[in-house]
A and B are shown apart, each in its own frame.
Chain A
Amino acid sequence: MEKDQDKIISEVTGSEYKYGFTSDIEMDTLPKGLNENIIHEISRRKNEPEFMLEFRLKAYRHWLKMEMPEWAHLKIPEIDYQDIIYYAVPKAKPNLESMDEVDPEIRETFTKLGIPLEEQKRLSGVAVDAVMDSASVKTTFQESLAELGIIFCSMSEAIVKYPDLIKKYLGSVVPYTDNFFAALNSAVFSDGSFVYIPKGVRCPMELSTYFRINAANTGQFERTLIIADDDSYVSYLEGCTAPMRDKNQLHAAIVEIITHENAGVKYSTVQNWYPGDKDGKGGIYNFVTKRGLCKGNHSKISWTQVETGSAITWKYPSTILKGDYSKGEFYSVAVTNNYQQADTGTKMMHIGRNTRSLIVSKGISAGRSNNSYRGLVKVTKGAENARNYSQCDSLLIGGQCGAHTFPYIEVDNKTAVVEHEATTSKIGEDQIFYCNQRGISTEDAVGMIVNGYAKEVLNQLPMEFAVEAQKLLQISLEGSVG
């Protein structure tokens, strides 16, 4: 027990950003900048059918007409969209059969990250679709999943193999007109994951994807689409780490989830991209649109996120509760330190009858960071007996940071019961004193208290993520006390 603690302490104190390294992998990139030719080229290289090219071009043309949103409580430096490489793919051989064929450099990177892509993963019951920059490198467990009729593959593969599903669902929850970053993503998205769970199937393992931004100056435009057909269930994990970089990198992803009748999707994220150094230099810009649609009656979508990385986070995983008796959940821990900024939260749109939603958000700010919760709970006219409970707590560490709450409640139906509660507090001196007295250093005490504070959310994570997330919280807050 003690040894474990020692190990964690040394890990906590030992590193600034544990996952800061870059691997030299030969990249196949397009020139910088964005125009219709680039989009044609992306589409061509990916062998996409005609309708995808049209989709991308429509999105691009719409994007040109849009402006960067300014409403978030964030200071976003000017982004030069012509100074970004929109397509980068590691020059690996396509369609690998076994691990040996994977580029040794890439394997090395994954080993450093602690991701055993090897077959051991199978024992822990996790299928990994590892995304390295823009193209899917290796997909495992596909066959065993395929036996159940589950489709779990890269987005590019899905576009080619299952155009009907893509046509039907892509952009149906997040249309390209949705917002500035969604339009950009729709125009240039390179790859991502596609999951289809057929009727009545309960996915036997946690599906997970590790996203990783690798090549310098390449924006990462992921696109994920999860479809859960009637009576199905899947738990999907997404974890992110990125190498240390000086220049800011842009990430604008889209995640779409559709659940049909009685279906459930649990989507968990641990986001630990490079947050910039202690002076706020560098770091990832994370502008993500995540939205789920509870299409069928009695369907359920649950979002869990642990956000510790990125210089700027702009992310609102939302749920549209369209089916009667559908349920949306949102659990979030967002940690900001140094000069990080986060504006994150959720939207719950109650449309169907007897819909329920639950929001638990825990914000922790330290250093000179700013951490905002922004949420919308909307009950439309027909949403009889809608029920929402939101709880957003903020914890402040140090006198230079900010914690903010911007909840919006819009109720259009008298039978709705909507509650929102929020508190803001700091770690009590008495709590620290209690720990110090028992020989626990202040830094560890803060880690312990923060973990306790975030427990409600961390408990929602699948086991292996929960452990990683706890460590992450401690690492992120390192140097914020004393």
Chain B
Amino acid sequence: MGKEVLRNKTPELTRMVLDRFEKTGTSVKTGLLPAVKIMQQKGREAFLTYGIPGYKNEKYRFTPVQKYFEKNIPPLMVPRNRNFKLDDIFRCDIPTLNTFMHVVLNGFYFEETSSLGKMEDGIRIGGLRQAMKEMPGLVSKYLNLAAGESTDGLVALNAAFATDGFFIYVPDNVVMEKPVQVVNIVNDNQSDLVQYRNLIVLGKNSEARIVVCDHTLSEYESLSNSVTEVFMDREARLDMTRLQNENNNATNITHTFIRQEARTLLNNNHISLHGGHIRNNLDIVLVGSHAKSHANGLFLMDHDQHVDNHVFVSHAAPECFSNQLYKGVLNNNATGVFSGKILVEKGAQKTEAYQVNKNILLTDTAKMNSKPQLEIYADDVKCTHGATVGQLDEEAMFYLRSRGIRENDARLMLMYAFAHDVVRKIRIEVLQDRITELVEKRLKGDIPKCHTCLVNYS
């Protein structure tokens, strides 16, 4: 049913953004697959139809996307010549986290060699542009398959112009032992509108662990609009953690589409530690029966930061399970939004779907909007949702203080405990430890950066 108003309410702005892109971006059109050209064409049309979400768009009610685009940040359509070494500005070193590390810089896969990294068992990890050349069949089959159905103008904008990003393919029956780490960096000596597109395809009965880090290093204002599509074939297992640590000038809009076939298992964690304006759209469809999906999120925001998590889990097949757990701590003038929806389609009997959103406001000026929603069209289901907004439990505080713990320490302890509910869902142990540490730092008010990392957020 869904009475969403799809009409483009910002025709002028939409036209302006489109013109800007089209004026800038002629050179990227060469060497693209026919399927990609179709995607771009469709994306362009869809963008004109749906437009930049306006202030009254229900899905973006609390995140002023229109304002971000009105700033007229120029789009970056071709990779810039780099005048710096990556090592000089960024070093990710979680000592015991032994990963394959890949970097996407300003929306373009950062790789000295031009071929997709080939690994034992046929796993392919690399840039999307390269994948188009080397695995045209697979890319044509999956690219835009899920995102193409979206009625979001921003997803369409990405389809129309983004041409690169990271690509991961795990063939049938292959278990990737080491996690993959993908680092998205935005760093430039000017303001950029950055778009990238990622594709992850997991074959039948395969397994992967992926860590995605979003970092904005540039001190200039930046706007990032990225789309990630994940396809999990039967019985695939995926553990994905996205860590967002960005500076106050960064606006990061992410769209993640996950399609789960029968008996797949997803564990998705979203940790937003720091950032100017963050908007995460997560769109999970349980296409096959007995699929299991966990979507967890934690956000810790202060000053004038803004975070908006928009989670949509659709049960299209019977006997699936889903759980959403989102928690947030908001300090100073920060604003947080959680908007979660469970859709149980007709015939999706024996569905189990849960949703919890808990938030703590530390100041009078912080603000939280929560919208936990259920839309159910089947009767044999178990669905619950709950949301709370409040402050730290006074009784718990009293308990700790009566045992000689200082107020400040007691408060921190309670906040760690609150946040740990989500952190403990991270399955990669060393990463969990590292994130625990970052969260603790963050809650203490320190800037959460890794020891060896030279990144400076401010």
Contacts and interface: CB of A to CB of B under 8 A. Distances in A.
Given A399-B346, A416-B389, A420-B386, A411 B361 contact: yes
A398 B3 CA distance: 24
Contacts of A74: 3
Given A406-B371, A407-B387, A73 B346 contact: no
Contacts of A197: none
Interface stretch (B148-156, B172-180, B303-311, B377-385): B377-385
A422 interface: yes
Contacts of A417: 388-391
A401 B377 contact: yes
B386 A404 contact: no
A379 B359 CA distance: 14
Given A397-B379, A404-B375, A413 B364 contact: yes
Contacts of B390: 416-419
B368 interface: yes
A424 B367 contact: no
A416 B309 CA distance: 22
Interface string B1-15: 111010000000000
Interface in B71-91: none
B120 interface: no
A424 B376 contact: yes
Contacts of A415: 364, 391
Contact of A420 (B3, B364, B369, B388): B388
Contacts of B391: 414-415, 417
A419 B382 CA distance: 20
B369 A413 contact: no
Residue with the greatest number of chain B CB neighbours at <10 A, chosen from A394, A397, A398, A412: A412
Contacts of B375: 73, 402, 404-405
A108 interface: no
A449 to B, nearest CB: 14
Contacts of B385: 405, 420-422
A403 B385 CA distance: 13
B367 A419 contact: no
A381 interface: yes
Interface residues of A, number: 41
B3 A73 contact: yes
B3 A70 contact: yes
Interface string B56-73: 001000000000000000
A407 B373 contact: yes
B376 A409 contact: no
Nearest to B335: A412
Contacts of B5: 70
B314 to A, nearest CB: 14
A423 interface: yes
A401 B379 contact: yes
B280 interface: no
A440 B387 CA distance: 39
A34 B27 CA distance: 60
A418 B349 CA distance: 32
Interface string B336-380: 000000000011010000000001011110111111111111111
B374 to A, nearest CB: 4
B289 to A, nearest CB: 16
Contacts of A425: 381-383
A409 B367 CA distance: 11
A434 interface: no
Interface in B18-61: 58
A156 interface: no
B377 A411 contact: no
A384 to B, nearest CB: 9
Contact of A396 (B363, B381, B387): B381
A459 interface: no
Contacts of B366: 414
Nearest to B361: A414
B371 A408 contact: yes
Contacts of A73: 1-3, 375
B364 A396 contact: no
A417 to B, nearest CB: 4
Contacts of B362: 414
A414 B364 contact: yes
B113 to A, nearest CB: 50
B378 A399 contact: yes
B3 A399 contact: no
Interface string B217-248: 00000000000000000000000000000000
B374 A72 contact: no
A168 to B, nearest CB: 34
Contact of A409 (B2, B369, B384): B369
Contacts of B349: 399
Residue with the greatest number of chain A CB neighbours at <10 A, chosen from B5, B359, B380: B380
A44 interface: no
Contacts of B379: 396-399, 401, 426
A93 interface: no
Interface in A56-91: 70-75
B317 to A, nearest CB: 15
Contacts of B381: 396, 424-426
A310 B386 CA distance: 30
Contacts of B388: 417-420
Contact of B376 (A75, A403, A412): A403
B80 to A, nearest CB: 42
A420 B387 contact: yes
Interface string B307-330: 000000000000000000000000
Nearest to B360: A414
A345 to B, nearest CB: 12
B335 to A, nearest CB: 9
Contacts of A381: 364
Contacts of A98: none
Nearest to A406: B373
Contacts of A379: 389
Interface in A250-296: none
Contacts of B363: 414
Contact of B1 (A370, A398, A405, A406): A370
A47 interface: no
A411 B367 contact: yes
A431 interface: no
A35 interface: no
A410 interface: yes
A423 B383 contact: yes
A400 interface: yes
Residue with the greatest number of chain B CB neighbours at <10 A, chosen from A70, A381, A423: A423
Contacts of A412: 367
A401 B389 CA distance: 32
Nearest to A424: B383
Nearest to B347: A399
Contacts of A399: 346-347, 349, 378-380
A406 B374 CA distance: 7
A405 B374 contact: yes
Contacts of A402: 1, 375-377
Nearest to A428: B380
Contacts of A71: 3, 58
B380 A420 contact: no
Contacts of B371: 406-409
Interface of A: 70-75, 370, 379, 381, 394, 396-426
18 contacts: A73-B2, A73-B375, A75-B1, A379-B389, A398-B379, A399-B347, A401-B377, A404-B375, A407-B371, A414-B362, A414-B366, A415-B364, A418-B390, A420-B386, A421-B384, A421-B385, A424-B381, A426-B380
Given A411-B369, A417-B388, A420-B372, 10 more contacts: A396-B378, A396-B381, A406-B373, A408-B370, A413-B361, A418-B387, A419-B390, A421-B384, A424-B381, A426-B380
8 shortest A-B CB distances, which residue pairs?
A396-B379, A414-B361, A409-B370, A424-B383, A405-B374, A411-B389, A417-B390, A426-B379
